[in-house]
Amino acid sequence: MMFKRFWERLKTNYLRGSPLHRVGRTKTLVSAIVCLSFLLFIAFTYHFLNSSPVHRIANPPEPAITCRMNNLQKSMFTPKDHTSKERLHIGARVLVFVESQYSKAAKQITSSLQYARIDYKLENTGHNLPTLTHSDKGRFAVIIFESLEAYVNMDNWNRQLLDKYCQDYKVGMIIFVHSADEYGIEKEKVPGLPLILRYNVAVKDYRLNAFTDIWRITKPGETVLDNIEEDDWVVFEYNHSTYEPLSYAKLAPPPYLNSRYIPDNSTVVCALLDRGTLDGIQRIFFGNDLSFWVHQMIFIDGISYLSHGKLSFDLERYILVDVDDIFVGITGTRMTAEDVEAMAKTQERLQKEVSNFHFNLGFSGWFYQHGTSLENAGDQKILEYRNKFWWFGHMWRHEQGHKFDQAKLETSMIKNYQFAKEHDIPVMHQYAVAPHHSGVYPVHEPLYQAWKNVWDIRVTSTEEYPRLYPSWKRRGFIHKRVMVLPRQTCGLFTKTLYIDTYPGGRKKLDDSIQGGELFKTFLYNPINIYMTHMGNYANDRLALYTFESVIKFVKCWTNLKLKQVTPLEMGIKYFEMYPEDKEPVWQDPCVYKRHLQIWSANKSCDRLPKFLVVGPQKTGTTALYKFLQIHPAILANYNSPETFEEVQFFNGNNYHKGIDWYMEFFPVPGNATSDFLFEKSANYFDGELVPYRVHSLLPKIKIICILIDPAKRAYSWYQHMQAHGDHIAGNYTFHEIITAPDSAPRKVRELRNRSLIPGIYVQHLQKWLEFFPSRQIFIIDGGRLKSNPVAVMHNVQRFLHIEPHYDYNDYLRFDSKKGFFCQVSSTNKSDCLGRSKGRHYPPMNETSVEFLKQFYRKNNVALSKLLSKHKYRIPDWLEKELSD
Ligand code: A3P
């Protein structure tokens, strides 16, 4: 509007008067326009640079945690060491009795155990007891009952057995007590114990009994001041010296006051230890479930105490706070010099609580000096203070790794590297984080290679392995010598900048700090890498607030020792603690949306097989492989130069090469719905980890295996090895091999095992059936494959639901010279398998036949049972074997 009016006025004034006058006026007008443009430019620039952060109403909250006890008082409560020799007689496992595994209490118990990485067995109370001992050792270190009813209502026989087990092996129980459902019942005596339960009470001012031997991680002395909002607490009354209170509280007015309520401020007992002086069994009773955060601490200390230290946690907690996106933030939300000062000061304070504490800054150099003048001064201040902090390379322009090839990634990294050199940034720790977790998992191989080439990266972290949620199941793994550590979120993201607009309100953040999700990461994880962003240190500086608060809170309530070590040391520690995590488990990147978002658009999950022929070796797998390929809708893998046609991905070291490597073996199918990619690797069948790995990557895949008489399979393998000039097979008879004792030379034992073990079909099949439903597994009778492959191929097609349905009569024909069915070639010739398939060799001698009959008998019986249970047809050879 303003411009319009100005223009109108200019037009009328300018056009009025003589042309001569107009020349003079033109000059004035031009200079006016130049001046105006200049002023406008200045105004816009100023506005752009300085006025966009109008929303910047920094209102940093102050950490409001104060411990009731001072340092001197705290030092009186030293953590207890629960280790005693009793722990030598029990296993590191917990037995959990539940009434239903889906109940809230049961889920809380199992997720806490999972969080603590404590191995457990879940049992439904109505069932028989599991075996409690194994060669004179107790299998379980602690018994947990989801509810007291589950314990007292146990059938007498089981209860006696369990009590006796606990007495003999000094194994304790944890029992959760819940309020009676019917509101009429106020008090009840526990049958068989001098203990009275008072139901449905509300409590406040919860505190711990400092004078008990249980506290290890938990530090007594503080009080939860608020009312604890529920009125479903059970409190304990007793009159026997075996009981020792673990926690007290004051009675609180119930949240829904009724007219009959009489104020009562008396102290009650909320968690109780039975020291076992009465019946020889130690028990911990909880008057509520694990929703109450203090109970989580008592729970893990209780497990440590009752297991005599067998299931004790270390007190050390290694933490690293990453600050991603340094220089990257949107203008108006970036750090100013003041913010940098605040960060450095907080770091100094935190160094008193966490030994060697340094914020770990991840920078993207391209964004340096891309903010307002205030923010640019902030950037400069960060560099001025560079030696106060730790640093890692992020990406030059914050690129997502999965979108680029190795050359482009390296170029970007090199620029960031040069930026670090130019500004003398101390990047020292062989650690990097990928923006958006991109390329770390699902693995983008070029990223790992570029990291190695440019920065020599050895450690990284992600929240995406195996998945973001549940957070307590995040794990680490090692790929291409890079240790990938699990990463924790702390409730702060790129967009959480102000306390007033914190999603869910400030209370949500405070709850997470004070006993909630963030506190629990400290409680349960020995190693924590937290993810924060630059914006969390500007604006309301929520990261400073959060970490200062949570660390204070942890110090008030726990004996945990907080430390920082280099990422490399952290990685080494993590995999020392959890060596089982070293090997990654690959999953289909297209199944989980978050994974798909950070997976290259050039890759396709259609390049994964729809079915597998898994073996075992020497059962006719090559014949089946060949016959399958006759079908136009079936596409086999490309041949591997190392293992002939077989890819052998899931069973050996190839698995570590990752799924990009695996996918390279498959063509991109013309039609992903109707084309069937497959591969055959005959030693998948008996590979220990194979069913698990296959299921993780391809849960819907179909599996085909072939079973022949295992004795014949063993003999065929021996012949195969002899034909390949194997030294051992050449120097030992078949009988010597299969009867070789464990004292035989290693190579002999190896040949013995490869001959015999794959034939213990029942064991291997059971493993597959643990992971796949029987409808996904097809079992071919290997004898039939030899004698009637046409019928077998008919059934295979039906199992795969493949179209068009081929009549293999047109494609297979018996070749009397070969003695087997062969493919009919386009010129109507027999295209048989090579000389190494369908060999001629003398029949097995009788003593070996007899030995193998005995050797496999028990397993074959079990196999027929397993097959019947899953409604499979019993192979002819097995019928015959069992009827002999
Ligand atoms: P032998 O050579 O001991 O007779 P695999 O391919 O799994 O290694 O199995 C090889 C076995 O497949 C051969 O073992 C042979 O008995 C069997 N086989 C089944 N059908 C066949 C066919 N049509 N042609 C060749 N061998 C076949």
Give distance in angstroms: CA of 620 to centre of ligand 1.
4
Nearest atom in ligand 1 to 615's CA: 7
How far out from the chain centre does Cα 655 lie? 18
**Percent over 70 (pLDDT), the chain:** 92
Q: Whose CA is nearest to atom 5 of ligand 1?
A: 618
Cα of 624 to ligand 1 centre, how many Å?
9
CA of 740 to the centre of ligand 1 (A): 26
pLDDT tier at 693, thresholds 50, 70, 90: very high
pLDDT score of 258? 67
In this prediction, residue 671 has a pLDDT band, given cuts at 50, 70 and 90, of confident
Q: Exactly one of 610, 618, 680, 702 is catalytic; name it.
A: 618
Q: How far is the CA of 649 from the centre of ligand 1 (A)?
A: 23
What DSSP assignment string belongs to 606-619? GGS-SEEEEE-TTS
Question: Are 283 and 243 in contact, with CB atoms under 8 Å apart?
Answer: no
- Is the predicted pLDDT of residue 150 greater than 50, yes or no? yes
pLDDT at residue 14 in the model:
43
Q: Which residues contact 278 (CB under 8 A, 6 or more apart)?
A: 193, 194, 240, 242
Q: Whose CA is nearest to atom 26 of ligand 1?
A: 838
The torsion angles phi and psi of 779, rounded to 5 degrees, stand at -115, 125
Task: Report which ligand 1 atom has the smallest distance to the Cα of 715.
Answer: 3
154 vs 17, residue with greater confidence: 154
Torsion of CA 768, 770, 774, 780, to 10 degrees: 20
User: Could you tell me the CA-to-CA distances from 404 to 399, 410, 446, 455, 546 in Å, in that order?
Assistant: 9, 10, 8, 17, 35
Q: How far is the CA of 774 from the centre of ligand 1 (A)?
A: 26
- One-letter amino acid identity for 529? I
The 10s digit of each residue's pLDDT in 374-415 is 999 999 999 999 999 999 999 999 999 999 999 999 999 999
Alpha helices in 582-648 (DSSP H): 593-597, 621-628
- Given a cut of 90, whether residue 84 has pLDDT beyond it is yes
Q: How far is the CA of 255 from the centre of ligand 1 (A)?
A: 76
Which burial class, exposed, middle or buried, applies to 89 when counting CB atoms under 10 A from its CB (0-12, 13-18, 19+)? Answer: middle
Q: What is the number of the ligand 1 atom nearest to the C-alpha of 836? A: 2
Task: Provide mean pLDDT across the span 343-364.
Answer: 98
Is 90 exceeded by the pLDDT of residue 665? Answer: yes
pLDDT digits (tens, 9 = 90+) for 560-591: 999 999 999 999 999 999 999 999 999 999 99
Indicate the length of the chain as a whole number.
884
Indicate the top mutation candidate among 622, 706, 755 to test ligand 1's pocket, ranked by most ligand atoms within 8 A of CB. Answer: 622
pLDDT on residue 182: 63
Which ligand 1 atom is at minimum distance from the Cα of 822?
A: 23
**pTM of the entire predicted model:** 0.89
Torsional sign, CA 642, 643, 645, 650 = negative
- For ligand 1, atom 1: residue with the closest CA: 838
- The stretch 603-632 carries a mean pLDDT of 96
Tokens of 800: 């795969």
Q: How far apart are CA 703 and CA 285, in angstroms?
A: 49
Q: 531 has which bridge partners?
A: 322, 489
How many angstroms is it from 821 CA to the middle of ligand 1? 10
Residues with CB under 6 A from ligand 1: 617-623, 682, 716, 719, 785-786, 820-821, 833, 837-839
* 721 CA to centre of ligand 1 in angstroms: 14
Q: Whose CA is nearest to atom 18 of ligand 1?
A: 620
Instruction: Round the average pLDDT of the chain to a whole number and report it.
Output: 92
Q: Residue 361: which pLDDT band, with cuts at 50, 70 and 90? A: very high
Per residue in 91-132, pLDDT tens? 999 999 998 889 999 999 999 999 999 999 999 987 789 999
Q: Give yes or no for residue 25 having a pLDDT over 90.
A: no
Confidence at residue 644, expressed as pLDDT on a 0 to 100 scale: 73
Q: Which residues pair with 322 in a beta bridge?
A: 360, 531
What's the DSSP call for residue 327? T
> How many angstroms does the Cα of residue 621 sit away from the middle of ligand 1?
7
What Rg, from alpha-carbon coordinates, does the chain have?
36
Residue with the smallest CA separation from ligand 1 atom 12 is: 620
Can 618 be counted among the known catalytic residues?
yes
Q: Is the pLDDT of residue 76 over 50?
A: yes
By most ligand atoms within 8 Å of CB, the mutation choice from 618, 625, 734 for ligand 1 is 618
Q: Residue whose CA is closest, atom 13 of ligand 1?
A: 838
Say if residue 603's pLDDT is above 50: yes
Residue 542 to residues 62, 325, 358, 494, Cα–Cα distance (Å): 10, 16, 17, 11
* Spatial separation of the C-alpha atoms in residues 873 and 529, rounded to whole Å: 53
Work out which ligand 1 atom sits closest to the CA atom of 706.
7
At residue 1 the predicted structure's pLDDT band, cuts being 50, 70 and 90, is very low
Nearest CA to ligand 1 atom 11: 620
Residue nearest to atom 2 of ligand 1 (CA): 838
pLDDT of residue 179: 87
590 to each of 29, 598, 606, how far by Cα in Å?
64, 10, 9
| pLDDT classification of 39: cutoffs 50, 70, 90 | low
Q: Is the pLDDT of residue 818 over 70?
A: yes
Longest dimension (CA), the chain: 129
Q: Who's near 602: CB < 8 A, 6+ residues apart?
A: none
- Please report which residue ranges of 135-266 form alpha helices under DSSP H: 148-152, 156-169
pLDDT at 188 over 50: yes
Q: Which atom number of ligand 1 is nearest to the Cα of residue 832?
A: 24
Is the model's pLDDT at 259 over the cut of 90?
A: no
Of all protein residues, the one whose alpha carbon is nearest to atom 6 of ligand 1 is 622
Query: What atom of ligand 1 comes closest to residue 625's alpha carbon?
Result: 6
How far, in Å, from the CA of 388 to the mean position of ligand 1? 69
The closest alpha carbon to 710, from 833, 822, 871, 862, belongs to: 862
Tell me, in angstroms, the distance from the centre of ligand 1 to residue 785's CA.
Answer: 9
Which pLDDT belongs to residue 231? 79
The stretch 630-646 carries a mean pLDDT of 88
The closest-lying atom of ligand 1 relative to the alpha carbon of residue 626 is: 23
User: Which residues, in sequence order, are CB contacts of 563 under 8 Å at separation 6+?
Assistant: 316, 317, 318, 319, 354, 355, 356
- Give me ligand 1 centre to Cα 16, in Å: 106
The per-residue pLDDT for 227 is 65
Looking at residue 230, its pLDDT comes to 75
- pLDDT, residue 101, reads 87
Which of 13-17, 148-152, 625-629: highest mean pLDDT? 625-629
Strand 283-286 to 172-176 pairing: parallel
pLDDT in tens, 702-711: 999 999 999 9
Q: Whose CA is nearest to atom 8 of ligand 1?
A: 618
Question: Which residue's alpha carbon is at the smallest distance from atom 19 of ligand 1?
Answer: 620
Q: Please state the atom number of ligand 1 nearest to the C-alpha of residue 624.
A: 20
Point out the ligand 1 atom lying closest to the alpha carbon of residue 719.
Answer: 3
Tens-place pLDDT, residues 439-487: 999 999 999 999 999 999 999 999 999 999 999 999 999 999 999 999 9
Residue 181: phi and psi, rounded to 5, are: -65, -40
Is 80 exceeded by the pLDDT of residue 655?
Answer: yes
pLDDT digits (tens, 9 = 90+) for 318-352: 999 999 999 998 899 999 999 999 999 999 999 99
Check whether 54 has a pLDDT greater than 50: no
pLDDT per residue as tens digits for the range 757-800: 999 999 999 999 999 999 999 999 999 999 999 999 999 999 99
Of the candidates 356, 340, 329, which has an alpha carbon nearest to the alpha carbon of residue 429?
356
Pocket perturbation via mutation, ligand 1, pick of 837, 839, 841, 877 by most ligand atoms within 8 A of CB: 837
Residue 571 and residue 199: Cα distance in Å, rounded?
48
